[in-house]
Amino acid sequence: MARGAQNKKEWSVSGPLRALLWWPGVAFVLVLADPDNIAWSIAAAGVALVLLGFLIPIAARKLRPVAVVVATRINQEAPTMEIDMPTMEISPVEKAA
């Protein structure tokens, strides 16, 4: 019996680690923009990315119920319209040699 298919555990990378994936690119841009303040700006960017990684999922969880309520209100109030389209017949194509 295959154990891998039945014991598969779902996992995902946490928010702060996902945010740190942007760190090399952000650090590169910071070095290009201000080469005199490399050390502290790269460290500050890492801290800022980790904080964003913590705060964005929390904010998304808080805002998700509001978004669901707004979406259901929009869907309930949206007008609908049915259009009767005429039937078109397409003649068969003759076979070429």
pTM, two decimals, is 0.53
Task: Say yes or no to pLDDT of 4 above 60.
Answer: no
pLDDT of residue 6: 56
HEC letters along 15-38? HHHHHHCCHHHHHHHHHHHCHHHH
User: What are the structural domain ranges in the chain?
Assistant: 13-76
The amino acid at residue 33 is A
> Tens digits of per-residue pLDDT, 24-63?
999 999 899 988 888 899 999 999 999 998 898 888 888 7
Answer whether residue 81 shows pLDDT above 80: no
Chain Cα centroid distance, residue 67: 16
The pLDDT value given to residue 1:
46
Residue 16 has pLDDT above 70, yes or no: yes
